[in-house]
Amino acid sequence: MSDLVDVTLKVNGSDVSHRVPARTTLADFLRQTLELTGTHTGCEMGVCGACLVLLDGTVVHSCLTFAVQASGSAVETVEGLTERAVIADLQDAFHQRNSLQCGFCTPGMLMTAYSLLSQPGIPSRDEIRDALSGNYCRCTGYEAIVDAIETTARKRAEEVDA
């Protein structure tokens, strides 16, 4: 159970290399080995969405991915998206609309929203709700999250038009 494997990958733009037990999940690798605690684990079975990260640009459950599976790939977490300032408008919309309370689900929500907003067009509220349905939130009741994503989509579309 404790066989060690080398894991070499790019995380938030930086090269990292560690030797970890083979059973280490990507979530635990990010949180414990790299101390990137913005990624959360809420169920560890791929249901709640708190652990979502980008693996080579695709949103994945880091709790269902072994760290070794990400070797050779590029991973981006909420810390990375924040540093790159690519979700600054989304984070501001969440802040202004109070689209988070305890904040535990929020990094996963931002990942889903980032991915959704990378698609062309302005998603409808139903489409936003559909996209968010792999992300549990127990505090907000979701409406404020939908509002913030919708606001961001519209603002981005206006900026493109302008």
Partner 1 sequence: MSAITSLDRPNSYIGHSVPRPNAKRLLAGRGRYVTDITLPRMLHVAYVRSPYAHARIVAINADDARAAPGVRLVATGADLAKLCTPWVGTMDHFKGMKSPPQWPLPIDKVVWAGQAVVAVVADTRALAEDAAELVAIEFDELPAVVDIDAARDPDAPMISPELGSNLCFQGKIDTGGVEDVFAGAAHVVEEEFLFGRHTAVTMEPRAIIADYDASEPKLTVHHATQTPYQFQDIYARHYGIPEACVRVIAPDIGGSFGMKLHMYHEDMAVVGLSIMLGRPVKYVADRMESFVSDIHARDHRVRARMAADADGNILAMDVEDVTGIGAFSAYPRTSVVEGNQVYRLMGAPYTFRNYRADLQVVFQNKVQMSQYRAVGHPVACTVTERLVDMIAAKTSRDVFDIRSGNLIPDDAYPCTSPTGYKFESLSHHACLAKIREMMDYDGLRAEQAELRKQGIHRGIGIATFVEITNPSPAFYGVGGVRISSQDGAILKITPSGDVRCLISITELGQGTETIVGQIVAEHLGVDRDRIKVITGDTETTPHGGATYACRGAGIGGETALQAAQKLKGNVLSVAAAILQEEADKLDMQAGWIVDKATSQQRIELAEIARIAYFRSDTLPPGTQAQLSVAHHYAPEGYPFAFTNGVQACHLELDVETGFVKILKMWVVEDCGRVINPLLVDEQIRGGVVQGLGAAFFEECIYGESGQLTNGSLADYLVPMAVEMPDIVVAHVETPTLDTQLGAKGVGEAGTAAASAAAMNAINDAMSPFGGTIAQVPMTPARILKALGHI
* C-alpha to C-alpha distance for 66 and 71, rounded to whole angstroms: 9
CB of 74 to partner 1, least distance (A): 18
CB of 161 to partner 1, least distance (A): 26
* C-alpha to C-alpha distance for 160 and 162, rounded to whole angstroms: 6
- Residue 115 is a binding residue for partner 1 (CB under 8 A): no
Residue 147 CB partners (closer than 8 Å, separation 6+): 97, 99
Q: Edge-to-edge strand order for the sheet containing 52-55?
A: 14-21, 4-11, 74-76, 52-55, 58-61
Residue in 94, 113, 116, 117 binding partner 1, rule: CB under 8 A: 94
Residue in 26, 38, 55, 150 binding partner 1, rule: CB under 8 A: 38
Residue in 84, 118, 119, 143 binding partner 1, rule: CB under 8 A: 143
Residue in 10, 18, 129, 155 binding partner 1, rule: CB under 8 A: 129
How many residues touch partner 1 (CB under 8 A)? 57
- Residue 101 is a binding residue for partner 1 (CB under 8 A): yes
Give residue 134's identity as a one-letter amino acid code: G
Angle at 39 between CA 10 and CA 150, to 5 degrees: 105
Backbone angles phi, psi at 111, to 5 degrees: -65, -50
Chain residues in the site for partner 1 (CB under 8 A): 1-2, 21, 23, 31-32, 35-45, 47-48, 50, 77-79, 82, 91, 94-96, 98, 100-107, 110, 125-126, 128-130, 132-133, 135-146
